[in-house]
């Protein structure tokens, strides 16, 4: 299985100067937009909505912090408004790996093209 990386911009909607632009791994096993806790100050003063326990891909349970509201813009798709989950991450080779979860993908009408290893637009929003 290939990895799909997409550029994304996350912006504090209460302070538009506070934003992060990064490349993130598309992870359909993750629900939220997940960012390293070390970047939290880069988005300014966000409201902490809830502290949560997060189950990682390695089956480890870690603490996360759901914060918002933010504007999330996956490159090539419409912006959506929602929350981010900040999690303590260990940088691999000095780089963090943010995640774009399925809630963000569904909201901005992006689908995973498994053969082309890319995101593609969804023609219709699902109301089933």
Asked if pLDDT for residue 122 goes beyond 90, the answer is yes
Asked if pLDDT for residue 3 goes beyond 60, the answer is yes
Question: Per-residue pLDDT averaged across 26-32, rounded?
Answer: 95
Q: What is the DSSP letter of 41?
A: G
| Nearest Cα to Cα of residue 84 among 96, 60, 97, 101 | 101
- Going from the C-alpha of 17 to that of each of 33, 41, 45, 65, the distances in angstroms are 20, 12, 12, 22
CA pair distance 51, 40, nearest whole angstrom: 14
Asked if pLDDT for residue 105 goes beyond 70, the answer is yes
CA pair distance 126, 128, nearest whole angstrom: 6
Instruction: Read off the pLDDT of residues 36-62 as tens digits, 9 standing for 90 and up.
Output: 999 999 999 999 999 999 999 889 999
Which H or E run includes 23? strand 19-26
The CATH H-level superfamily of 5-121 is Acid Proteases (2.40.70.10)
Q: Quick one: pLDDT at residue 126?
A: 78
Residues 6+ apart with CB under 8 A from 55: 61
Asked if pLDDT for residue 102 goes beyond 70, the answer is yes
Q: Tokens for 99?
A: 């995640």
Average pLDDT for the chain:
95
Which H or E run includes 53? strand 47-55
Helix or strand or coil: residue 126? coil
Model confidence at 2, pLDDT cuts 50, 70, 90, reads: confident
Question: Per-residue pLDDT averaged across 80-96, rounded?
Answer: 94
Asked if pLDDT for residue 1 goes beyond 60, the answer is no
């Amino acid at each position: 299985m290939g990895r799909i990386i997409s550029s994304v911009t996350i912006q504090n909607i209460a302070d538009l100067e506070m934003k992060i632009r990064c490349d993130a791994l598309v992870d359909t096993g993750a629900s939220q937009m997940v960012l390293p806790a070390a970047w939290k100050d880069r988005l300014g003063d966000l409201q902490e909505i809830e502290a949560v326990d997060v189950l990682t891909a390695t089956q480890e349970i870690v603490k996360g912090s759901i914060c918002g509201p933010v504007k999330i813009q996956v490159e090539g798709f419409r912006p959506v408004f929602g929350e981010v989950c900040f999690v303590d991450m260990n940088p691999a080779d000095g780089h963090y790996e943010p995640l774009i979860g399925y809630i963000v993908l569904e909201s901005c009408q992006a689908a995973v093209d498994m053969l082309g290893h890319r995101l593609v637009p969804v023609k219709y929003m699902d109301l089933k």
